[in-house]
Structure 1
């Protein structure tokens, strides 16, 4: 995995943190952590797109992984009921995310190089 995709992965992990934080924050410390996670999440995404990834593909993968992580974390840590339909739809989402990653080649260049 190249460095840009690693930034997308880290951004997605912080996205899970801030999305959960929006629901569960209740004091200054947890709100501060949520805001920090938002900044880090989008910072990693921006860095990934500045390096080499197309914005649309990077954002789709970022959002897909963040959504998947959030749903799983809610089930594991916050006792959200397990639903087979939800898990199957998450699997479809992950297949799409992996497909986008696979069809986005490393040969794309930024700028007007010729």
Structure 2
């Protein structure tokens, strides 16, 4: 459940990160601020149940990945091999962190 909360928080991070760049009136700034509040509330909630460093890394990684994808799809950001390579590397790291942390939120022991 707490990984789901982290993923939802990351989705809202994508919203506010995009909003910081493209907000231009009261409504879009209000939505951006609301996304910030929801995002960080989810991050704080998940951090109480899972290892904080892992939650934060997953949160930032998914948020970065999503923001890059949103920019590419909706705002015509350039796509090049370097960006794709490093986004895949980032996603691999996020998935790896998820797998080395067990369901109870404790880091797996070797």
Per the normalisation by structure 2, the TM-score is 0.93
Q: Which residue of 42, 45, 53 corresponds with 1:56?
A: 53
Measure how far apart 1:81 and its partner are.
Answer: 1.1
What's the counterpart of residue 73 of structure 2?
76
Measure how far apart 1:106 and its partner are.
Answer: 2.5
Relative to structure 1, the CA distance from residue 41 to residue 91 in structure 2 (aligned partners, 3 Å threshold; closer, same or farther) is same
Relative to structure 1, the CA distance from residue 108 to residue 23 in structure 2 (aligned partners, 3 Å threshold; closer, same or farther) is closer
> What secondary structure is seen at the aligned counterpart in 2 of 1:13?
helix
What's the counterpart of residue 9 of structure 1?
7
Measure how far apart 1:80 and its partner are.
Answer: 0.6
What's the counterpart of residue 92 of structure 1?
89
Please give the alpha-carbon distance, in whole angstroms, between the structure 1 residues aligned to 2:76 and 2:47: 35
Give the count of matched residue pairs.
106
Relative to structure 1, the CA distance from residue 44 to residue 108 in structure 2 (aligned partners, 3 Å threshold; closer, same or farther) is closer
Consecutive unaligned residues in structure 2, runs of 5 or more: none
Measure how far apart 1:105 and its partner are.
Answer: 1.4
Q: Is the 8 A contact 2:50 2:104 kept in 1?
A: no
1:74-108 Cα shifts (integer Å, max 9, x gaps): 00000111111101100000100000000011245
Taking only aligned residues, the RMSD between alpha carbons, in angstroms, comes to: 1.0
> Deviation above 6 Å: which 4+ runs of structure 1?
none
Consecutive unaligned residues in structure 1, runs of 5 or more: 110-114
